[in-house]
A and B are shown apart, each in its own frame.
Chain A
């Protein structure tokens, strides 16, 4: 045998030109990903809101396509791309990564799984491990959410394997909001329900084609009313709930309804 190390026979000898080509491909891929990550979110804010989630969803998909394309272009530059060579290389990488970077790679794989299972997409409002916020970016290893307090939280995709992921709008515009009202027993239930229904119906934030529900729960300390409705845009959810709460309270005060005693309702709150 001429080659003292047969494992190295699968590789090209890297020339300066190859290295420059690889560098250029990586730079181009990085630049393309950077532009797509800026362009699609910007465009999503400019177009009518019904297209927003679709455009945001294109960000991770575009990134994956760019990475695969770069990978496919780079491989032949340093490797003889036969089936046997690829199997050998991937096998060796698999063993090395399996021991050294298990969690990291698991997150990367989970990141790819999220692209077709779509447990969350940019624009979704999700809760994982107590962190609630809007999905801003799906990175290769993590999902980046922004909480209502404007704090960015990075959640590794790895959580997908063993954590419950709560998605409030699941890729759509429909995110149910609830405003709670706690009253004592001395009032006419039908009147209060109608009043709360009209509170939602007259809200500027309301997605009027969706159903409005006023649920009533009897408690030992009084009645718990849950006014459920959908805002036009999931991003308006906190404004919407505030609007329902403020106007609902004002209307109930005008009606002369008594609120449940504070001490008691904190015990009985569902």
Chain B
């Protein structure tokens, strides 16, 4: 067990499946990898819609550093309520039907780990940033511009 933790500390942004390696939302970058391990609080859920056979639900989630759009899938849609603190393991942040969203995907997992006791900010919103491929490393994305400081889908409460 100890060995596993040590190994993980060394691969800091690697396949973070171990606890204690939470990524801050502000450090999340779009990629085609299921490797995001993070914790956030659910601020607002949109209406559930059908994507083919499956129910999906777009939501605004946030931590102390940033907000982001999260997509719940299937029975996740009804399992979570605003103010739930959620741990995402092996999640993915990528373009999905033209939206830049964070989700568990097939290999990831979301779990409720608490409630209420998490501070958050609603800006920046990582889903409201325009990303371009890094000129020095075409496999990576870098921020090009802020499209909107806040979520345009879930505007901040007045």
Instruction: Tell me whether A and B are bound partners.
Output: no
